[in-house]
Each structure stands twice: as C-alpha cells, then as structure tokens.
C-alpha cells in the first residue's frame, strides 16, 4: 500500500467529528485510520464525542487481532502479519478524488470478508484508489472486530449475564452512523450510500438489511458471494461456542484470547453446515430480530433498498483443493474427477447461487428492486476457475498487488486491467443510479438480469 507523504498543505476536512487531517496520494485524497467508535472488550461500541484536537488520519487502520491463515495468504497474495493488529480496531478509511466535486458524490462503503475471523478493511489488496479515482465516488473501508472479540456471545432464553453477541455487526452500524454524520465533509452524499461486501462482508450486509436502526443508513446493497446457505439452524452451535469462550475475560491476555478462539472454532466446526463458518451473526440478539421474524424485517426494508446480489461461477474451487481429507478420493481414476466436479457444483449451488437467487426473489416480491449476477471471469482459464474471492482483483488495487495471488494464476495483466475497469464501472453505476438494464453482460466477465415478482 502507498504510504502518506508529509506535504506542507495536507488535505483538511472539517467534519462534525472534528478537523481531520488526511494525505495526498496522486489523484486521490485519503483520510485513513479514523476512529468511528470507542470499544471495550466484549462490550458494544460507544459513540465518540467531537475531537477537540485535529484528528491525524495518516495511518492505515489496524486489523482486528487474528491468527495467520497460511492457505488464504497464499491464495490472496497477502498477509495480515504485515499489518498492525490491535483490539482498538474500530477505524475507517476514506478515499476520494482530489479533483473538485461538481456535486455530492455517491458513497460506496466496503465491508471486507474473511469468515468473520480474518482480514481487514485496509489490506493492500483492498486498495480502493482505482475505484474512487476512475468512477468519481467516495469509498469508505470499514475495519471491525472479528472472531472471539466480535462474533461470540449471546444468552439463551432465560439466561442473564452473558456477553452481548453481534459486536462486529454493531461496529458496522456505528461506522455507518459516523458516515451519515460526517461524509458530506468529504464530498460524499449521505443520502446515497451503497454497501458492498464479499463473502462474510456480503453476509453482514444481508443481515444489516434486517437489523434495527439501519433504514436511514444506506440506500443500496451489493452482496458478493455471501454464504447465505448456512444462515439457519445455528443457535445450538453459537450457544456451545459462547460457553467455551467464557474462560477468557476482559483482563485476559491477547494471546489467551486467540488460543481460546481456536478452541471455540473447533467446537463450532462440529456442527455440519454452520461449522463451515462458525463465527457469525446471531438472530434474536441485538440488533437482529429472532430468526422467525427475519423475513418480515427484510420485507419491510425491501422497498427502501436497491439490491444487486450474486455469486462466482466456481465458488467452491477456492476451498476444495485445500480439503486434504478428500484428495485421495479425488485422485481415483475416472470416478475421482467426477466426484470432485459434483462436489464443487453442489457446494457452489447450495451455499451461494441458490440462496442468492432466493434472496433476490424475496426482495423483489416484497416490492424491492433487485438484480442477480453471475461472475465468470477466470472460469476455465484461471487455475481455480471463477472461484470464491476472484471478484476482488477486479474491484481493488491492481496487477502489482494481485499478480502473486494463487486465485488469478493463469490470468494476465491485460485481462485483469481491461476487465476490472468494466466491473468497477458497473458497480459504481449501480451505486450512483440504483438501477441496471433488465439484462446485461460484460463479455467473459459477468452477466446479470433483473429479478421480478413471480
């Protein structure tokens, strides 16, 4: 990632949160690592008062504490080891064109993925500069609490004294509150905010659409490769995980918390489908309604939120080669390759494509505007096809950051640059206008269609 220079005239933004000192980066201005809430371990975020002194927004947001994920570091070509990590991670970073705005710009808020246990808003591969500068939008990247710090807790019926659940989701809402109140100082339009997120980030957006107090915080949603197929039937798993996490408290060392997180994760993995991503949101815990009221909450929100949702053609190809226990089966003559392909298709359909289509159909049936897409970039060309996360190189950073990522092995610089510019333009157009054609295609990249009431 680029590092801030120290010019005599850094960009200054006079916002309700206080005077914010940013930095120049070529044809964009940045304001990075801005605190949006105060947090205490295992407690909900607290609103910040206006800063009395200028806010130095020239450092990248730290990542939430996490263990290295070596396989995904290799596949994504990046590691959070190189980033600062701290529990006080509730920060956001803003990127906007340095040229004067002729009118308030659309705001695109990025919510990173990572199974709710790894990643960060300011990972180098998430550099939002191309999106902001090309498309004349303001892009905000949120970092939020993960794993044991953000997605474990909750009380069963009749229990008291348990830690609150959904802290990471509450962090996101606190960030959206901050954006609503302050983004106009950065040339952004607080009435035209689009959330976009991939994997767990997309999953979080789907749940923010049902959460209390979010109706006025965003107008549009782009949900990318969200594993919506694992949403139901997770209560027993979350209860077991919360109980296992009780051996660490507010005074426990960070190391002890991360060790416990691994133990808690193993407990969650015993539960078949939910165990694929054990950390996550909990229904019936603030700010989410009970699971049996989720659909009603989404239906109430649908007319007020334009939706673009979809999946990659070969989602499961990111994970299947990493499943060591299955490799012997896959190596069997004839039947092995058939089993591999069948499993890949089944996982992609069951966790991603069918639930996304159903979510879009329900949104449209409730009076919302919805489009569904399928991303094919890399299918039958990249080493893992159009696998999970392959949409990220098309939206962020560029060849310099992505060239060593395993997921784009087999693709070249020209293919990435040509396709990424087209996809960024489509995402930004949806953010700006909230509508797309009834049917459309970016050749060899993506196709979409309008979802209508049945």
Sign of CA pseudo-dihedral 278, 89, 184, 436: negative
Q: Please check whether residue 180 is in contact with residue 94, taking contact to mean a CB–CB distance below 8 angstroms.
A: no
Q: Please check whether residue 29 is in contact with residue 98, taking contact to mean a CB–CB distance below 8 angstroms.
A: yes
Q: Is 435's pLDDT higher than 70? A: yes
Q: Is 158's pLDDT higher than 60? A: no
Residue 79 is classified by DSSP as -
* Higher pLDDT pick, 365 / 154: 365
**Of the candidate ranges 77-86, 164-173, 196-205, 427-436, the one whose mean pLDDT is the lowest:** 77-86
Sign of CA pseudo-dihedral 286, 292, 293, 298: positive
Q: Residue 105: how many CA atoms within 13 Å on its side-chain side?
A: 28
Q: Is 155's pLDDT higher than 80? A: no
* Higher pLDDT pick, 102 / 326: 102
For 174, the token pair is 């606190």
Grade residue 194 by pLDDT with cuts at 50, 70 and 90.
Answer: very high
Q: Please check whether residue 121 is in contact with residue 92, taking contact to mean a CB–CB distance below 8 angstroms.
A: yes
How do residues 256-301 score in pLDDT, each as one tens digit?
999 999 999 999 999 867 668 999 999 999 999 999 999 999 999 9
Q: Is 368's pLDDT higher than 80? A: yes
Q: What is the pLDDT of residue 330?
A: 76
Q: What is the pLDDT of residue 332?
A: 80
* pTM of the model as a whole: 0.96
Q: What is the pLDDT of residue 193?
A: 98
Structural domain boundaries enclosing 409: 12-451
CATH of the domain at 169: 3.40.50.1820
* Higher pLDDT pick, 335 / 115: 115
Residue 207 in domain = yes
Q: What is the pLDDT of residue 337?
A: 82
Three-state SS string over 146-196 comes to CHHHHCCCCCCCCCCCCCCCCHHHHHHHHHHHHHHHHHHHHCEEEEEEEEE
Span 430-446, average pLDDT: 98
Residue 143 in domain = yes
Grade residue 335 by pLDDT with cuts at 50, 70 and 90.
Answer: confident
Span 392-403, average pLDDT: 96
How do residues 204-220 score in pLDDT, each as one tens digit?
999 999 999 999 999 99
Grade residue 8 by pLDDT with cuts at 50, 70 and 90.
Answer: low
Residue 4 in domain = no
Residue 420 in domain = yes
Q: Is 329's pLDDT higher than 80? A: no
Q: What is the pLDDT of residue 275?
A: 67
**Of the candidate ranges 66-80, 96-110, 178-192, 193-207, the one whose mean pLDDT is the lowest:** 66-80
Q: Is 160's pLDDT higher than 60? A: no
Residue 216 is classified by DSSP as T
Q: What is the pLDDT of residue 355?
A: 97
Q: What total of structural domains would you count in the chain?
A: 1
Residue 171 in domain = yes
Distance CA 410, CA 391 (A): 15
Q: What is the pLDDT of residue 156?
A: 53
Q: What is the mean pLDDT of the chain?
A: 93
Sign of CA pseudo-dihedral 250, 253, 258, 260: negative
Does the bond joining 130 to the residue before it have cis omega, within 30 degrees of 0? no
Residue 6 in domain = no
**Of the candidate ranges 59-73, 180-194, 319-333, the one whose mean pLDDT is the lowest:** 319-333
Q: What is the pLDDT of residue 323?
A: 75
Q: What is the pLDDT of residue 12?
A: 97
Q: Is 369's pLDDT higher than 60? A: yes
Strand locations in 358-420, DSSP E?
Answer: 370-375
Residues 6+ apart with CB under 8 A from 24: 4, 5, 7, 10, 11, 30, 98
Q: Is 434's pLDDT higher than 60? A: yes
Span 316-330, average pLDDT: 81
Span 80-93, average pLDDT: 90
Q: For residue 342, what are the CA distances in angstroms to 274, 329, 347, 360?
A: 21, 13, 9, 25
Q: For residue 176, what are the CA distances in angstroms to 40, 141, 272, 297?
A: 19, 11, 34, 19
Span 59-86, average pLDDT: 88
Grade residue 239 by pLDDT with cuts at 50, 70 and 90.
Answer: very high
Q: What is the pLDDT of residue 1?
A: 67
Main-chain dihedrals φ then ψ at residue 211, nearest 5 degrees: -80, 155
Span 229-241, average pLDDT: 88
- Residue % of the chain over a pLDDT of 90: 84
- CB-CB neighbours of 81 under 10 Å: 11
Q: What is the pLDDT of residue 5?
A: 60
Residue 1 in domain = no
Residue 51 in domain = yes
Grade residue 437 by pLDDT with cuts at 50, 70 and 90.
Answer: very high
Q: Is 7's pLDDT higher than 70? A: no
């Amino acid at each position: 990632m680029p590092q801030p220079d120290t010019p005599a005239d850094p960009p200054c933004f006079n916002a309700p949160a206080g005077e914010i000192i940013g930095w120049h980066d070529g044809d964009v201005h940045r304001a990075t690592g801005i605190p949006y809430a105060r947090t205490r371990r295992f407690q909900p975020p607290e609103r910040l008062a206006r800063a009395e002194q200028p806010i130095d927004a020239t450092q990248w947001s730290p990542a939430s504490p996490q263990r290295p994920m070596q396989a995904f570091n290799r596949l994504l070509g990046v590691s959070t080891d190189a980033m600062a990590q701290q529990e006080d991670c509730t920060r956001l970073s803003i990127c906007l064109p340095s040229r004067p705005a002729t009118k308030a710009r659309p705001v695109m808020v990025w919510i990173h993925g990572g199974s709710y246990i790894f990643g960060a808003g300011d990972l180098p591969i998430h550099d939002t500069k191309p999106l902001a500068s090309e498309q004349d939008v303001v892009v905000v990247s949120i970092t939020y609490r993960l794993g044991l710090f953000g997605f474990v807790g909750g009380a069963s019926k009749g229990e008291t004294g348990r830690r609150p659940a959904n802290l990471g989701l509450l962090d996101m809402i606190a960030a959206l509150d901050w954006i609503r109140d302050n983004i106009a100082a950065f040339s952004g339009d607080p009435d035209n905010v689009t959330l976009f997120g991939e994997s767990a980030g997309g999953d979080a957006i789907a749940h923010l659409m049902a959460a209390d107090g979010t109706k006025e915080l965003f107008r549009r949603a782009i949900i990318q490769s969200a594993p919506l197929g694992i949403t139901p039937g997770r209560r027993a798993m979350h209860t077991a995980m919360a109980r296992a996490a009780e051996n660490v408290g507010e005074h426990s060392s960070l190391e002890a918390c991360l060790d416990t997180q691994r133990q808690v994760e193993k407990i969650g993995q015993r539960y078949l489908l939910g165990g694929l991503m054990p950390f996550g949101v909990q229904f019936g815990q603030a700010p989410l309604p009970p699971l049996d009221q989720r659909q009603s909450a989404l239906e109430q929100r649908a007319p007020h939120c334009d939706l673009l949702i979809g999946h990659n053609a070969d989602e499961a190809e990111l994970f299947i080669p990493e499943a060591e226990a299955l490799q012997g089966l896959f190596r069997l003559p004839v039947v092995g390759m058939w089993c591999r392909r069948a499993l890949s298709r089944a996982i992609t359909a069951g966790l991603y494509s069918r639930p996304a289509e159903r979510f879009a159909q329900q949104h449209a049936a409730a009076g919302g505007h919805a489009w569904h897409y399928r991303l094919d970039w890399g299918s039958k060309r990249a080493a893992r096809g159009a696998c999970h996360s392959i949409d990220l190189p098309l939206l962020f950073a560029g060849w310099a950051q992505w060239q060593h990522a395993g997921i784009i092995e087999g693709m070249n610089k020209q293919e990435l640059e040509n396709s990424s510019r087209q996809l960024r333009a489509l995402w930004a157009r949806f953010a700006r206008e909230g509508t797309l054609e009834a049917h459309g295609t970016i050749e060899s990249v993506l196709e979409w269609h309008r979802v209508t009431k049945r």
